[in-house]
Structure 1
Amino acid sequence: MNDLSALAGRLQVEVLLRDGRIEAVETRLQRPLVQISRLLVGQAPEQALARLPLLFALCAGAQQVAAVRALEQAAGWQPMAEVEGGRTRLSELELLRESLLRLVRDWQLPLPAERLKSLLGLCQRGIALLQPLCAMGAAPLASDGRLADILGELAECWSTLVLPSPDDWLQPRLQRWREVALGGSLPAVFEPADIPPLLERLRAGESEASIAGEPRITGPAAFADGGAPAAMQIAQRVAALLRRAEQAAIGQPVRPPVAEDLLAEEGVGLAQTARGWLLHRVRLSAGRVAVWQFLAPTDWNFHADGLLRRQLLGVQVAEEECEALLRELILSADPCVAFEVRIAHA
C-alpha cells in the first residue's frame, strides 16, 4: 500500500425485523488498527509522530497530542506545563472545528455561512500556531500575542452567536421518533478510573474496547437519558455536541487525566475529540516503538454488545421507518468511519 491515507475503517449495522419489532442487532466495526500499529512499530518516536497525520483523516491533531503524551511518558520526559496546556488547546480547537462541521452538515445547525467560515478559519489559525507543540520535548511557544489574539477573537465570535435551542431546529426532523421507545439501559460512561483495568487487558494483547467485559460510551453519546424516547435521546446528544463546542470556543478546556503505575518504558496518552476520549498506549525498547495500541471513541460507542444493540433490541418500529431511525441513532453517536445499515426481514 503506497497511500497511507487509504487506510480506513467501516461500520456495518444489521438488524432483524419481524412484524415491526427488532429481534436482533449486529454491529460490525472494521478498523485497521493492527495494520496501523505495524506501520509504527520499529520507528523512532519522531518518525512515528511524523507518520500519524498520514494515517488519520479525522482528529489528526488529537491523535498527535495523545501520541506525543504517550511517547514522552514512555521516554521519561516531563513536558512543561505551558506545553501541555498548548496541546490541550490544540485538541480543543480541533474539537470545535469538527463539531461545527458535524452540526452543520449532519444536523443542519442554522449557523450563517459567513460566521461558520470565520469560526473555522480561527480554529485553523490557532491549530497551525500550536502544531510545533506536538513534537517530542517541545519548548513553549514564543509569547508574541498571536495565539491570544486568535483565542480572544474566537471567544468573541462565539459569544455574539444567536442560535435557537436544538429542540427548535431539530423538532421537525425528529418528530417521527417522538413515540419510539428505545430499550435497555445505556452502557456506563468511560471514566479515568477505568484506565488501570483497561491497561491490564491492553498489556495482555487484548484490544477490545471494554472494561471487565462490559462496553462503555464516551462523548455526546453519553449525554442522553436512557429511558427517554428516541427523538429526545437524539436531541440530547446533538445538544451535548453543541455545548461541548461552546466550551471549547470560550476557553474552558478539559484537561486529560494522567495514567499512573506504568511499566518501564510504557506510556499512555489521552486527548479529547468531538466524539469523546482517545487513548494511545506505547512501549519503547532501545529507543524505538515496540508496541503501539489505540482506542478511539468509535471503538467504545460501537462495541458489538454496546450502545446500539442494547437500545435497539426489542424496539417496535414501522418497517418503512426502521432504516431512517438507525441512521439517526448512528449519526447521534458520531462514528469516525463510513457506515451502512442493513435491514433483514424475518
Structure 2
Amino acid sequence: MNGLPPPEGKLDIAIYLAAGNDDAHGVDIHSTRPVHIAQMFVGKSVTETLTLTRALFHVCTRAQLSASVQAVESARGVAVAPGIAARRQALVDMETLREHLWRLYLDWPGYTGAERDHDALAQAMQLQQRFDKALANGQDLFLPGASGGAADHAAAQAVLDDMATLIERTALGESRAAWQSLESYEALQAWSGNNTGSIAGLLRHLARRDWNASAALETIALPALDALQARELAAQMHYLDFVTRPTWQGRHCETSSLSRSRSPLVGDIQRRFGAGLLARAVALVSEAVSLLDTLRRRLANEVTPATLRGSGSEPGVGWVEAARGCLVHTVELAGDTITDYRILAPTEWNFHPGGVLSQALSRLRGDAGAIREQAAMLIELMDPCIGYTLSLHGPGRQHA
C-alpha cells in the first residue's frame, strides 16, 4: 500500500464452553486494530491528511472522508452549504447500502447453502460508481469548504431507480413496498414462507433452528449525536485508552443498523425475541430497503446531517453514520498543520472486550457446532469490517 501501514488489523475471538455441557460460558476478544493510526497525520497538512485518508481506508472511504473534512471545517469554524452536507451524506449512505448488499449477496447464502450472487453485487458496485459521479458532477465534495455546482439530479435519480429494481429482483424477490408493509413477526413469517430469495432463506433457517432469539440481550444504543454530545465524546477521545475501549457515560453501547432502527417490524421482533440474530438480520434488510428513500430525500435537501461548526479556536469534530455505526474524527490545527488527530470507529464500540458482542456470545446455547455457527453469524451481522478468527475451547481459565 505505497509504504503505508495497514489500517485493518484483526480480531481474535475465543469462546470458552461451560463445564458439563457445550453452552458458551466465557468470551475473550483481542484486537490488533491500530486504533491510533491517525497519529500519523500529526505534522502533516490538511491536504496531505485527506490524501492519506483516501489511501488508508478502503472499506468505508467516503465515511472516513466525510468525518475528516467535517472535523477540519469544525476546527476552522467553517460552515458548508446544507446541499453540500446532504450530498456528502448521500455518498456515505450509498456506501452503506453497498456494504449491506455485500452481506446479503455473499455472506447470507453461505448459511443456507444457496448460491452467492457475485453478479448482483458487481451491478450494485457499478451503480454506486454512477451515483458518485452524478453527485460529484466534476467536483470533489470532500474538500474543506466545498461549494459550487449542483449535482446531476436526473442521473442520480436514475441510479436510484436502477438500484431499487436490482434489490427487488435479486434480494427481496418482490417489491420494496411489500417488505416495508411488514410490521409484525406473523407478517414476516408469511412473507418468508412465500419467498424464494436469499433473505427469506436465512429467515427460515433461523426459525427452523430455533435461533430467532439466539444471542439476545438488552442493548444500550449510542445516541444519535447532537453537537453537544459530539463535543462531549470528542473530549473523551483525547485519552488514547478511551479510543481503544470506549464507553458512553460509563456504559457499553452499541452503534449499528439495529441500534439506529426505527422499523415497526424490528421493534415487534425485539419485543418478542430480544436483540438477537433475527432482529439484527431484519434490521439490516430494513435499513438497506429504506436507504433508497433516504437518498431520494437527501437529493431533495429534505434531510441533512447534523454537523458542528466550531469557533476556530478549539478541536474540530466530525461524525457520520456509516455502514457499521457512528464514526467520529477529531482534529487540532495550527494553521494548516495537524497537531493532533483521533478516530473512533464503530468496531471499538461493538467489539469492545466487555461490550455487546462479548455479552451476546456468552449467551449462546447448543453443542459446539451450533455455537460456532451462531457465533459466526452474529459476528458477521455486527460486521467488524476487518478479519477475525473464531475459536472454541473446552472449560478452563480464560485468557487475560
TM-score tier by shorter-chain length is 0.7 to 0.9
Report the alpha carbon displacement of residue 2 of structure 1 after superposing the two structures with TM.
4.8
Residue 2 (structure 2) pairs with residue 10 (structure 1): no
- Contact 1:281 1:293 (C-alpha < 8 Å) held by counterparts: yes
1:246 to 280, 286, 289: 289
The 1:277/1:256 distance shift into structure 2, 3 A limit, reads: farther
Residue 231 (structure 2) pairs with residue 188 (structure 1): no
Report the alpha carbon displacement of residue 106 of structure 1 after superposing the two structures with TM.
1.0
What does residue range 41-52 of structure 1 map to in structure 2 within 5 Å? Answer: 41-52=42-53
Report the alpha carbon displacement of residue 273 of structure 1 after superposing the two structures with TM.
1.6
The 1:234/1:252 distance shift into structure 2, 3 A limit, reads: farther
Partner of 2:279: 236
| 1:340 partner letter | T
Report the alpha carbon displacement of residue 221 of structure 1 after superposing the two structures with TM.
4.0
Report the alpha carbon displacement of residue 233 of structure 1 after superposing the two structures with TM.
2.7
- Contact 2:91 2:132 (C-alpha < 8 Å) held by counterparts: yes
- Contact 2:106 2:116 (C-alpha < 8 Å) held by counterparts: no
In structure 1, C-alpha distance between the alignment counterparts of 2:87 and 2:367, rounded to whole Å: 50
In structure 2, C-alpha distance between the alignment counterparts of 1:44 and 1:339, rounded to whole Å: 34
The 1:68/1:159 distance shift into structure 2, 3 A limit, reads: same
Partner of 1:37: 38
The 1:292/1:319 distance shift into structure 2, 3 A limit, reads: same
| 2:202 partner letter | L
- Contact 1:221 1:301 (C-alpha < 8 Å) held by counterparts: no
What does residue range 65-214 of structure 1 map to in structure 2 within 5 Å? Answer: 65-108=66-109, 116-129=121-134, 130=136, 132-142=140-150, 147-160=152-165, 161-162=168-169, 163-164=172-173, 168-174=200-206, 175-178=208-211, 181-182=214-215, 184-192=217-225, 194-205=229-240, 206-207=242-243, 208-214=245-251
Deviations 1:150-194 (A, max 9, x none): 321123224442524566221343232437653642233343154
Report the alpha carbon displacement of residue 288 of structure 1 after superposing the two structures with TM.
0.9
In structure 2, C-alpha distance between the alignment counterparts of 1:210 and 1:270, rounded to whole Å: 17
Which SS does the other structure have where 1:311 is aligned? Answer: helix
Which SS does the other structure have where 1:33 is aligned? Answer: coil
Report the alpha carbon displacement of residue 80 of structure 1 after superposing the two structures with TM.
1.8
Deviations 1:82-120 (A, max 9, x none): 221211111112112222122211113999766654433
Report the alpha carbon displacement of residue 219 of structure 1 after superposing the two structures with TM.
1.8
| 2:31 partner letter | L
In structure 2, C-alpha distance between the alignment counterparts of 1:263 and 1:302, rounded to whole Å: 34
In structure 1, C-alpha distance between the alignment counterparts of 2:221 and 2:348, rounded to whole Å: 14
| 2:149 partner letter | L
In structure 1, C-alpha distance between the alignment counterparts of 2:304 and 2:204, rounded to whole Å: 37
In structure 2, C-alpha distance between the alignment counterparts of 1:30 and 1:187, rounded to whole Å: 25
Report the alpha carbon displacement of residue 261 of structure 1 after superposing the two structures with TM.
7.2
Deviations 1:265-286 (A, max 9, x none): 4111112222121111111123
| 1:202 partner letter | M
- More deviation in 312-321 or 178-187? 178-187
Residue 361 (structure 2) pairs with residue 312 (structure 1): yes
Larger relative strand fraction: 1
Calculate the aligned-residue CA RMSD, in Å.
Answer: 2.9
Aligned residues: 341
The 1:69/1:181 distance shift into structure 2, 3 A limit, reads: closer
Report the alpha carbon displacement of residue 260 of structure 1 after superposing the two structures with TM.
6.8
| 1:220 partner letter | S
TM-score between the two structures when normalised by the length of structure 1: 0.87
- Contact 1:41 1:291 (C-alpha < 8 Å) held by counterparts: yes
- Contact 1:265 1:285 (C-alpha < 8 Å) held by counterparts: no
- Contact 2:230 2:317 (C-alpha < 8 Å) held by counterparts: no
Which SS does the other structure have where 1:283 is aligned? Answer: strand
In structure 2, C-alpha distance between the alignment counterparts of 1:265 and 1:75, rounded to whole Å: 9
- Contact 1:154 1:249 (C-alpha < 8 Å) held by counterparts: no
TM-score between the two structures when normalised by the length of structure 2: 0.76
| 2:14 partner letter | E
2:26 to 13, 24, 27: 24
Partner of 2:56: 55
- Contact 1:28 1:304 (C-alpha < 8 Å) held by counterparts: yes
Structure 1 spans left out of the alignment, 5+ residues:
none
- More deviation in 18-27 or 192-201? 192-201
In structure 1, C-alpha distance between the alignment counterparts of 2:366 and 2:65, rounded to whole Å: 42
Partner of 1:266: 315
